[in-house]
Structures are given as C-alpha cells and as structure tokens.
Amino acid sequence: MPAIHFQNVCVEGFAHTLPEEVVTSEEIESRLEPLYERLKLPEGRLELISGVRERRFWPPGTPPSEKSIESGRRVVEQAGIDPGEIGVLIHGSVCRDFLEPATACRVHQALGLPRECLVYDVSNACLGLLNGIVQVAGMIELGQIRAGLIVGTENSRNLVETTIERLNNDTSFTRNSVKPAFASLTIGSASAAVLMCDREISSAGHRLIGGVYRTNTDGCRLCQSEGLQEYMNTDSERLMRDGIAIAQETFGEFLAAAGWQRDTLHKTFCHQVGRAHHRLLFESLGLDQSIDFATYEWLGNTGSAALPVSASLGIEQGHLARGDHVGLLGIGSGINCLMLAAEW
C-alpha cells in the first residue's frame, strides 16, 4: 500500500465558520408529516437512527466562496503567516459557486493572495479538503512553495429541502425505497480552512508526518448525487460496512507509516457521519471513542468540511496537547480512505 512521508511540512492552523441557523431533526420530521403519515413512520426516527440532533444552514443564496473567504482569512490571520508566502490555494468542497471558473479563483481574489499563487478546485466527495492537504504538503516538501491554503464550504440547504419536497410529493415511496434518501436529511452546512507551511517558517511546529490511502471503487455507486446539491441516493448500511472495512485495511499501514502503535495514537479527528458509523469505526480499529472529537450530533454530516471543522473546534476547545500523536481519519464515498498523521 502506498505510504506518504513528509519531513518539512507543518500544519500551521485550522479555522472554521458555522451558520447561525439551526435546524433540528424534529423540525425536519415535522415538515415530512405527509410522508410519515402515509407510511406510518414513527416520530423521532431520524435522530434515533443517525444520532444527529441538529444541523445548520447558510442563508438562502449564500455562495460557498463567501464562507470559504471568511474561513481562509481567519486561519491566515490566526497563524500570522504573510499572505505573500502562500503559493497555492485549493478549494476542496463538494459545493462550489459554479462549474467554471474554479471557486478558488473568487477566494484568491478576495483574500488578495499573490498572482504567482497556483489556484484550483479539488472534488472528491468528503475527502476533498484532505486531498488538498496532501497536494499542498507535497509541494512544500518538494520546495515548490513555502505555504499553502486549503478551504471549502458545504451548503446543505438545497439538498435537504429538495429531498423533503421529493419525499412528500412522490407517493410511490415505500418504507423500503425511502431508506436511500434518509442520509441526505442528516447533511449540514459548514466551512473550514487549513494552512500548511514549511517547517522553517512555522511558528506552531505541528509537523505533518505522512499517511496512507486506499480505495475500493466497487462501491462507487453506493452514494450518488443526481445533480449538484439536488438529490442523493445512499445505501447507508452497505456504505458504512464497506467504508469501515477499507478503514480496517488502511489503519495498520497508517500506524506503520507514522511509526506508532495503537496505544500511542493519542487523539483523532474523523469524518462525521453519525452515531452508528462512529461507534463501529472505533470498535473495528480497536480504539477508544474518547480520543476523538465528535461533532455529528449538532453539526450533522458536513461533507468535506466535517473533519477539518471538527479539528478546528477540537483544538479551540483544548482537545489536543503539545506532543500528541494525531490521526486525521478520512473515509469518503467512492469508496476512498485517507489517513494522515501529525505530531502536535
């Protein structure tokens, strides 16, 4: 299995921006009254199955770039890095302003980054920002750039509202056929930014050690969107089972690549799906759930922003201590798995 190693790369900081509007699972179920009444579904089903109590929405019409700009500006200011040092900007979320040009162009323009900066979008379901981290780290390791910025913003409002409308209006749905739509109702909105730099200019000193990736594209149809932010079909049970299986395959190689043992992995940040996925993932990896900083209960599944937002919040709330071995454990539909190691 390929392993990635870095000697000169630091994670200089994480930042996040969250919507003010909170939408509970109870509110969503109340809007689904026609469906629940027709299929005789029990109230509280959505939160009971997923563990998601609430999620957040941006105001209608909010372009992803607007919040990515906020998060990007915040992480640059917090880190104290000269924006002139930033040699690449990647926008890595599923949601973007338009198909062309890259949403990263708008973020670059608003942040006033150098004209010599490489600017582009990356799309890989829930792993987009993690993929961006690897790409930026590789450029830093090769000496091509001194620092790089990865940003992304997920906007769940359209997907959730389109799903509610479809479930209420299409009377062909049965108790069985409605299941692939329920994962869409757990999606939330959030924005994140990650700043990477060469260790020579790092003031934080949080070194990115490397990581491991693995893929099983036999699962490429387990979670599919019909259109950008419109409707999504998800085989949640098989996606969870196959996703955890690939995480198990990856984890041992991840520890070996980092030079760690299971008991010397001190803290983790994971992609946030729901209660069942979180519990089974940690059981399968032989880890205590207490080492992770979970946000799915009140943020829902925020796609590619989920892991870096959880990291930003966890760091802010003291989840990490100096010297901690930190795992960034990403699993995305496709199915793709990427695990990165950092020494805090």
Query: Which residues are annotated as catalytic?
Result: 100, 126
Q: Burial letters for 259-282: b for 16+ Cβ neighbours within 10 Å, e otherwise?
A: ebeeeebbbbbbbbbbbebbeebb
Question: What is d(CA 170, CA 99) in angstroms, rounded to the nearest whole number?
Answer: 29
279 with 67: CB under 8 angstroms?
A: no
132: how many CB neighbours lie within 10 A of its CB? Answer: 30
DSSP β-bridge partners for residue 325: 343
Question: What is d(CA 296, CA 302) in angstroms, rounded to the nearest whole number?
Answer: 8
Handedness of CA 51, 315, 339, 282 (dihedral sign): negative
For 236, the 3-state DSSP assignment is helix
Question: What is d(CA 13, CA 197) in angstroms, rounded to the nearest whole number?
Answer: 10
For 217, the 3-state DSSP assignment is helix
> Encoding tokens for residue 75?
């992480």
> Encoding tokens for residue 106?
């708008």
Q: Taking the chain, what is the end-to-end CA distance rounded to the nearest angstrom?
A: 25
203 with 80: CB under 8 angstroms?
A: yes
Tokens 């059981």 map to which residue?
A: 283
